[in-house]
Amino acid sequence: MYYLHRIARYDQDGPKINSILEINPDAIFIAEALDYERKAKGVRGPLHGIPVVLKDSIETNDSMHTSAGTLELENHISSNDAFLVEKLRNAGAVILGKANMTELANGMSNTMWAGYSSRGGQVLNPYGDAQLFVGGSSSGSAVAVAANFTVLSVGTETDASILSPAVTNSVVGIKPTVGLISRTGIIPFTYSQDTAGPMARTVTDATILLGALVGVDKMDPATQKREGRVQQDYSIYLDSMGLKGAKIGVFNNASKGFYVSQEYDAGLFEDAIQTLNEEGALVIEDIDIPSFHKEWKRVVLHSELKHSLENYLSKLPSHLPVHSITDLIQFNKCNADKALKYGQNKLEEIVEFPNTLRNPDYLNAKLDDLYFSQTGIDFALKKYDLDAILFPSYIGSTICAKAGYPSIALPAGYKESGRPFGITLAGTAFSEGILIKLAYAFEQAIKQAIKHRKSPKLI
């Protein structure tokens, strides 16, 4: 009830942060039942009674809709829980509601403002005015956690959609190895890069949520590659001494434009590096990642978006108004005053792509993506004998996304304007445990230095 009150007062009224798209009408009943179950039978799992908000692209078999922020799907009620939602319910979570997001996970328009959807409107950054960047498509999930409208949330990422809003809203976001968490029941963007991931105010909370989400799903082939590498309890990596003896490479070779952008703060980044040194890590500056500046071809994302979204829409119930991307485009044109504030040039571009994924340009680009991204990261880790790579803000998101490798975004201070600054730690496939160990030790160190995460001032 506390969180519902905060949502009413600050998210939907007052400053109108607008991170919550829909509330689960059964949330109070579920919470009461779990309270009784705790007394009668004991704790069901690690999330017993804990409120969790889901990105609006994650299906739930209840009274809530799953629309990816679109008007076309505002009446879509799934007949199944996403696999990860089953995992959450089994762990005892209370699904509190759905989070607003960038419409179609930023698959609508090149000019669409991050955090905007036709169905939900604009998500605001709780740390600043309406013009402050709110981060990628899981913006509602990040803001709901940052503003304390929920304990935990689940976002999804294709490229930066968890890391970006985590950094810009001063929360922890884990983008796991592709295949660690099932994608079944999530409105897709790509096959190669999509993954769900936890968001929370602390590394501990994000870690507990990660453990509840992982699992091998017979309906998702990506999860089957992790058989034998299952780690159900990541909390064993929460070691405050985890930085002692660790070897971390600092990547400073971003484009020049980044260093004058709002995403960067040289002083805060140097503070983060100093903290790593003080906690016993061996920090190697200015490492090289050979393929970092490679020009990644858009044909992979566009081809997979066309194929995956077309397939998803084709299976929707007959009473819904759209069953193809062509239907989406036409619906938006007929409702242009509400649906096309930023246009739909991305949809209009991909609708012309073939729907077979046999195009040689696509196949070659996909293989290039995997080869150059994975070998680039693994080369750097091996050459410098590293446990992880440190990036300022979320500039490493693309190469990690192409590789399907994990990253964790962490709060690392605030600029003079009050704008949050963050860092990202990244590693090779299924290195979540190592990243959590390093991230937790860093978080505990900055807590002691009174540089830890500040709550936004909701006025």
Residues with a catalytic annotation lie at 55, 137, 161
Which tokens go with 312?
């998803």
Tokens 């009413």 map to which residue?
A: 8
Q: Phi and psi at residue 22, in whole multiples of 5°? A: -155, 145
Q: How far, in Å, CA of 437 to CA of 48, rounded?
A: 24
Taking only Cα atoms into account, the Rg of the chain, rounded to an integer number of angstroms, comes to 21
Summarize the chain as % helix, strand, coil (round to 5).
Answer: 35, 15, 50
Q: How far, in Å, CA of 440 to CA of 45, rounded?
A: 22
Checking 447-454 for CB contacts under 8 A at 24+ apart, the result is: 449/275, 451/271, 451/412, 451/413, 452/411, 453/170, 453/171, 453/201, 453/411, 454/170, 454/414
Write the DSSP symbol of residue 58: B
Q: Give strand pairing partners of 172.
A: 200
Which tokens go with 277?
């040194």
Which among 236, 181, 241 is positioned nearest to 208, based on CA atoms?
236
Q: Give strand pairing partners of 423.
A: 392, 410
Which tokens go with 13?
């009224």
In the chain, the amino acid numbered 15 is P
Q: How far, in Å, CA of 156 to CA of 141, rounded?
A: 9
- Alpha carbon separation from 425 to 9, 167, 179, 250 (Å, rounded): 35, 12, 19, 9
Q: How far, in Å, CA of 30 to CA of 172, rounded?
A: 27
Residue 346: CB atoms within 10 Å = 20
Residues 6+ apart with CB under 8 A from 68: 56, 57, 101, 103, 104, 105, 117, 187
The answer to whether the beta carbons of residues 132 and 17 sit under 8 Å apart is no
